[in-house]
Amino acid sequence: MLENREVQENQRRLTEHIRSSGLQMRKEIPNDGNCLFHAIADQLERIGDKGLNHSDLRKLSVETLKNGVPGVSCYTCTPERVSCTLSNWNSRRPFHC
């Protein structure tokens, strides 16, 4: 019973934080392996930036990683991991959410 209250309280706090940031919780994000990009595109659209869809965001992510933008390398760790990530993203193979 206590766990359920904690989960509900955490959910309430998360929802409050998201709303105070001008964003919204959504449950309709497709579970097609592109959920990360769908979710980002959805939130961008909600704040008025309708210029990028999930496919555009995926391409932009690949180009950003390929070009070695400063500040991104700390998330990719090794050249092998970057290569694997780029291969998966560039091939449009789905992520597993």
pLDDT tens across 29-77, in order?
Answer: 787 888 889 888 988 888 888 888 999 998 888 887 777 666 665 555 5
- In a domain, residue 95? The reply is no
List Cα–Cα distances, 8 to 13, 20, 22, 46, in angstroms.
Answer: 9, 18, 21, 25
Number of domains within the chain: 1
Domain extent, residue 48, equals 2-90
At residue 96, the pLDDT reads: 46
At residue 84, the pLDDT reads: 61
- In a domain, residue 50? The reply is yes
Question: Which pTM was predicted?
Answer: 0.52
38, 54 contact by CB (below 8 A): yes
Query: How far is 34 from 72, CA to CA, in rounded Å?
Result: 20
End-to-end CA separation in angstroms for the chain = 28
Name 23's Cβ contacts closer than 8 Å, sequence gap at least 6. Answer: 43, 46, 47
